[in-house]
Amino acid sequence: MHCTNCANSIEKKVSTIKGVDHVNVNFHAKKIVVEGTFKQDNVKLVIENMGYSFKKPQKNLLIELVCCWVVSIFSFAVDVQAFFILGLLVALLIFPGKELVKSGVASFIQKDYKMESLIFIGVFGALLHHVFSLFQGTHGMGREGIILLTIYLTGQYLEESLKKKADLAVQGLLDLMPEQVVLLKGTKSIKESLENIKKGDCLIVLPGQTIPLDGVVVEGASEIDESLITGESQLVNKDLNDFVTGGTSNISGRIVVKVSAAGDEGYLSRLVEMVEDASATKIPVQGLVDKIVAIFIPIVLWAAALAGVVWIVIPEKMEKINKSLLSALNIDMEPLSWFMVVLAVLVVSCPCPLGIATPLALFIGAGRGAQIGLIIRDGKGLEALKSCKVLVLDKTGTLTTGKPKVDSVIPLGAYTEEDVLKHASSAEEGSDHPIAKAILKHSEKKKIKWDKLTGYKYHFGSGVEGFDERKNKIMAGSTSWVFEDSFEPQENISKDSTLVAISVNEKPIGLIALRDEIRENAFETVEKIKKMKIKVIIASGDREDSVKAVAEKLSIKNYFHSQKPEDKLSLIKQYEKDKTHVIFAGDGVNDAPGLAAATVGIAMGEGSDLAKQNGSLVLPKGNLSNIYKAIILSQKTFSVVGQNLFWAAIYNVLAIPLAFFGVLHPVIAQTAMVCSDIIVITNSLRLQKMKL
């Protein structure tokens, strides 16, 4: 039963170790990542001195739980005090209770109070009271101590069992990688463990099998089910030299895949890491909860002390209030002693449900996103998505497929099509833009040879330039950048085509018109998002006719053309100045500033690496419909977070006063705390089956 406040304490302590550069603790992913040149034993020692231990197997926890239940039942069946005390001490100090003792003692020594601190005081306070009572010849409350520990361990066991279900999405991703693969060595094929596969190895993948790791097809062809990374069931044809992703399914043909990323470098491993990191992100709502928990525990300790004082000093008044409450609630119970009231306040106040309410829901939500092909890199982005009112979309590679084809080549003056393609290819060779790739592919098809340029420069949002062997300055890019004078395209050029202008020594030599198809799901996605009362805008660096044509087809009224990176940035800041949250979706290097500046940046997965680094969310394979699904995911995830916080808060608001006035027995109080914990976890688990 941990919270992110406890994670902050561990991070702070571990970061003081010599050689530690960075620490990240994620309780829900059950891991601590420490970077730097340090000794592992030093980290382990610090964590254990803080009262934490490395995770126990579920089997060990079950044995401890059974042991406690046996002692609890035995304590009621046998009334031999000396034997009972011996069994109690064995159960508490030697086996089940030792971790609670270690954690509780460490928290008070270091004045770093945790949720377990309250349980520790309650359980061992009851035990010591029982021992003290024996010396006075009176009957103590040792039974309550062991029962409290039993219920606490029961809650822990149930929590771990339920959290295993929360891990199903992430574990399901890891399970896609087979333990054994078929390795091709020369003409022989041998079975090999996946962990022994290295980059450059060739693997045989038969129809019906999962592609084990990221790689390139070097033999054969097949249809691949890429629903893992796109969320769509449509099969994709893969041929020689095509890239395939680990975890996707080979459907129809035998292929040989040359591994390009082994071990932790592959898509699946990175996906799992992103899901875990997203759940550990310090999001605004969790920051508020952490502050509440940090001051809540000391307040509870003072409240418990105050309860003890008032029940000792003015017992008549407290008993009168107690009887009134019992009568109003129609509860028939014996009056509690001052000590039992203090015990009840301590155990009922444990804010565990409050601590797990947000991170657990976020962890499950991020895992659910991964299942539909939505990578959440930043929990803050997922939280902000639900309140965004404007969606700004890039055109090329976002609304369109990002795979343009050359439609026509228009030479100017005395130049030929071959001249235009030659100089365009020389300029575009150093670019990774989809338009550059399309021009190069077209030139290769036409068997045109081009020169290598020197002094190469990339102008963001405008084009590229360089010098050929004869020191001629070659430019390729937007017409407004390449041509000094305004340019009116010929009537036979399609309005929705993208134009690339080419010049030599600043003299126009021709144009290349490219066509890029609108994504099939763009029409449906835009309509759904507009129905959510989100304003949809296109901001593209393309010419006006091309942007206007796409906007009209998609019924988008607001569009901006000839947008440079700084123009897109200015557009986003203009809306955010009015405190309007903005989503920006793009795929190119030109979009990186916009992705970083927007409230939520969504990077299309087929775009540049820089674009992906600046996005809060990534859509592999650029599945546009996942933008809509991401908004729904955000709304539903944080709806569950709100419900969790309500149940956690209402539990403490109602239970603490009842315990203070002696209405709740400590055992009932502890049981109520466990039930509240389970409610929060089971409510979070609903996210696994939510429809998007």
Q: How far is CA 322 from CA 315, 351, 655, 659, in A?
A: 10, 24, 14, 10
Asked if 600 contacts 581 with a C-beta cutoff of 8 angstroms, the reply is: yes
Q: Residue 177: phi, psi to the nearest 5?
A: -85, 120
Residues 460 and 565: beta-carbon distance below 8 Å: yes
Provide the 3-class DSSP secondary structure of residue 91. Answer: helix
Eight-state DSSP code of residue 615? -
DSSP symbol at 536: E
Length of the chain: 692
How far is residue 75's CA from residue 529's CA, in Å, rounded to a whole number?
A: 62
* Alpha carbons within 13 A on the beta-carbon side of 661: 17
290 catalytic residue (yes or no): no
Question: 347 phi and psi, to 5 degrees?
Answer: -80, -30
Phi, psi at residue 675, to the nearest 5°? -60, -40
Contact 108, 117 (CB under 8 A): yes
Burial class (CB in 10 A: 0-12, 13-18, 19+), 480: middle
* Spatial separation of the C-alpha atoms in residues 318 and 657, rounded to whole Å: 12
Say if residues 341 and 308 touch (Cβ distance below 8 Å).
yes
The active-site residue, picked from 214, 290, 394, 542, is 394
Q: What is the 3-state secondary structure (H, E, C) of 107-142?
A: HHHCCCCCHHHHHHHHHHHHHHHHHHHHHCCCCCCH
Nearest in space to 680 (alpha carbons), one of 649, 656, 654, 657:
649
Residues with catalytic roles: 394
